[in-house]
A and B are shown apart, each in its own frame.
Chain A
Amino acid sequence: MSIELKQVSYTYMPKTPYEHKALDDVSFTLDEGSFTAIAGHTGSGKSTLVQHLNGLLHPECGQVLVDGVDLADSSRTGRQAAKEARNKVGMVFQYPEQQLFEETIAADIAFGPKNQGLEGEALAKRVKEAMELMGLDYAAYKDRSPFQLSGGQKRRVAIAGVLALHPKYLVLDEPTAGLDPQGREDLIQIICRLRKKWKLTIVFVSHNMEDIARLADSVVIMNHGQMAIKAAPQAAFEQVGILQAAGLQEPQMLHLLHRLQAVGLPVKADGIQLADGIHAIKEALSHAK
């Protein structure tokens, strides 16, 4: 089972002076259990793309299939199936904490599943489970106001609200933007855990090449509404020209290692994480002796 994009194109405000082609013939498949990053500069079509994944936008041409069901199907026979398919895809927008509104954390997280008809014990169980997945102690936090929390905690509450809907696919639009280094690290750990525990299929939009290298098994790089690359992060980062054309930078460590190579240091430039880089530099220094 998978999310499949087939030759998807989308134009904003067609036939007006503001007409803008945001997606241009994009095709790819997100397999069940995969962890995919989407990167690209502002205006490259990333956000338009993710809004297609749960039918917030429908393609102008092409199709988006979730587990084989066309999300745009509005025929009398297909409508119900399309709705169910859209429900399988949980969407966490940028700065999701801005969408918190309830008086207590538990009530905010319960809002989604309640609207799906869940109540009583089952509803409380959902809320508890989602909070614990996001590293929020149920007893300590459930009755507190979400507005008293730190930025990082608020964001976790907002994500818990989506997880409480039990999505099969989870889409996160820049989940770590605006968080401090510790908050960023905590959230990344939680996302890793989610994947392991729930076998969620995850798609996340990010500008952070280090995060992409660490988390994703493949990365889609968007440029001018087209897919420039879909490959494993390591392979994608080797295509420095395409990265730069797409307004992205190679990971910092890789950049450093490449510069060291350029000045004649015999380093192996295949590390992205700190420990790998340090190891490569040490090796090179001992060879140089």
Chain B
Amino acid sequence: MAFIKVENLTHIYHPGTPQESVALDKVNLSIEAGEFVAVLGTNGSGKSTLARHLNGLLLPTEGRCFIRGLDTCNEQELWQIRQQIGMVFQNPDNQLIAAVVEDDVAFGPENLGMDPQEIRAKVNASLQAVNMAKYRTFAPHLLSGGQKQRIAIAGALAMDTDCLVLDEPTAMLDPQGREEVLRTVQKLHEERGITIVYITHFMEEASVADRIVVMDKGQVAADGTPREIFADVPGMKKCGLDVPLAVEVVWQLRHQGIKLPEDILTEDELVEALEAYTCQSN
């Protein structure tokens, strides 16, 4: 059974009013446990609407959304779903609520009625997992953006979440903060097998995922590995998106007759390929 299964999902905002807009149009998608899926798409392509269906913050206008077979439309199952899917939003200031970091992380487990000792253990372990243990008594507003996002992630981990849905978690961060958050997410995925759904506008971030889903006008426009997705440079640009710099450079050089391998994704691979190219021609 797929971890996340979205069937024929349609979502219409303000139906029956002049503001009516179709945000998702018969989307089908399934994500297996332990996958790291990046979701790309322009503003208004339906990415965030999709993310908000995954833990029942939004409910389908039509179609269904299942998490481990549990239906988000079934109110009795909703709490169980929300415990399994942790959400992290764009603006860290909108999701931290307590005056002290560890209180904030404890908020979820407290609401689940966990035993205080267990809460303490969970909070410590979660803060360690995001490398923020030494900040546990800090006030969240004194932290940097990247640190705040890691606290938000810790809050989800403390609920024993199996899946993190992150909606542009790095959009408001500086380069260092972006790197911290991405590394943390990668680590949680690799070491704990947490399923990741990662929405972003940064193509370089998407390239570290196992799989990329491209949304366009409320539909899934493409679905494949980063190498497959970024191979279609004109197609990505047509969707209002971009490709990582290394991919773009290879694409341009190949078009100008320089025979480099087609499937280069990262800067490391590009440097290696250009080095090999010059050795070959010598």
A196 at the interface (CB under 8 A from B): no
Query: Is the CB of B270 closer than 8 A to any CB of chain A?
Result: yes
Instruction: Report if B90 contacts A (CB, 8 A).
Output: yes
A-side contacts of B277, CB under 8 Å: 285
| Residue B253 CB within 8 A of the other chain | yes
Residues of A within 8 A of B (CB): 18, 40-43, 94, 145, 147-148, 150-152, 177-183, 207, 247-249, 252-253, 255-256, 259-260, 263-265, 274, 277-278, 281-282, 285, 288-289
Which 4 A-B pairs rank lowest in CB-CB distance, beginning with the nearest?
Answer: A182-B240, A151-B43, A181-B242, A180-B42
Cβ-neighbour of A181 out of B44, B241, B252 (below 8 A): B241
**B274: interface (CB < 8 Å):** yes
A278 contacts B253, CB within 8 Å? yes
Most buried by A among B174, B252, B258: B174
For A274, list chain B residues within 8 Å (CB).
245, 248-249, 252
Q: Residue of B at shortest CB range from A277?
A: B249
Query: Which residues of the partner chain B approach A150 to less than 8 Å between Cβ atoms?
Result: 42-44
| B274 close to A41 (CB less than 8 A) | no
A178 touches which of B21, B201, B252 (Cβ 8 Å): B201
**B256 at interface, CB cutoff 8 A:** yes
B19 CB within 8 Å of chain A: yes
Is B172 a contact of A260 with CB atoms below 8 Å? no
Q: Which residues of A contact B281 (CB under 8 A)?
A: 285, 288-289
Q: Which of B9-65 contact A (CB under 8 A)?
A: 19, 21, 41-44
Tell which of B90, B144, B271 touches A263, judged by Cβ atoms closer than 8 Å.
B271
Is there a chain A Cβ closer than 8 Å to B145's Cβ? yes
Query: Does B144 lie within 8 Å of A41, measured CB to CB?
Result: yes
Q: Contacts A152-B43, A182-B42, A281-B253 known; A256 to B201 CB distance under 8 Å? A: no
**Which of B146, B171, B240, B267 contacts A256, CB < 8 Å?**
B267
For the complex, give the distance between the alpha carbons of A263 and B276 in Å. Answer: 11
Bound Cα distance from A252 to B242, whole angstroms: 14
Cβ-neighbour of A288 out of B240, B248, B270, B278 (below 8 A): B278
Q: Is the CB of A259 within 8 A of B271?
A: yes
Q: When chains A and B are docked, how far (Å) is the Cα of A149 from the Cα of B282?
A: 56
A180-B240, A274-B248, A289-B282 given; 19 more Cβ-contact pairs under 8 Å: A41-B177, A42-B173, A152-B43, A180-B43, A181-B203, A181-B241, A181-B242, A182-B240, A183-B42, A183-B43, A207-B175, A256-B271, A274-B245, A274-B252, A282-B253, A282-B256, A282-B258, A288-B281, A289-B278
Note all chain B residues with C-beta closer than 8 A to A256. Answer: 245-246, 249, 267, 270-271
Distance in Å: Cβ of A182 to nearest Cβ of chain B: 3
Interface, chain B (partner A; CB < 8 A) = 19, 21, 41-44, 90, 142, 144-146, 168, 171-177, 201, 203, 240-242, 245-246, 248-249, 252-253, 256, 258, 267, 270-271, 274-275, 277-278, 281-282
Contacts of B176 in A (CB 8 A): 41-42, 247
- Set A40, A145, A178, A264: member contacting B168, Cβ < 8 A: A178
Q: Report the minimal beta-carbon distance from B214 to chain A, rounded to whole angstroms.
A: 12
Cα(A104)–Cα(B252), bound, Å: 44
Min CB distance B20 to A, Å, is: 10
Q: A148-B21, A281-B274 are in contact. Are A178 and B240 (CB under 8 A)?
A: no
Q: Smallest CB–CB gap between B110 and chain A, Å?
A: 27
Bound-state CA distance A265–B274 (Å) is 8
CA gap between A182 and B41 in the complex, in Å: 10
The 10 sampled A-B contact pairs (Cβ below 8 Å) are: A42-B174, A150-B42, A178-B90, A180-B241, A181-B201, A207-B175, A253-B245, A281-B249, A282-B256, A285-B277
A44's closest neighbor in chain B, by CB?
A: B174
How distant is the Cα of A243 from the Cα of B275 in the complex, in angstroms? 27
B252 touches A145 (CB 8 A): no
Q: Which residues of B contact A177 (CB under 8 A)?
A: 171-172
**In the assembly, what is the distance between CA of A32 and CA of B83, in Å?**
56
A260 engages B256 (CB within 8 Å): no
Q: How far is the CA of A288 from the CA of B280 in the complex (A)?
A: 10
Residue of B nearest to A207 (CB): B174
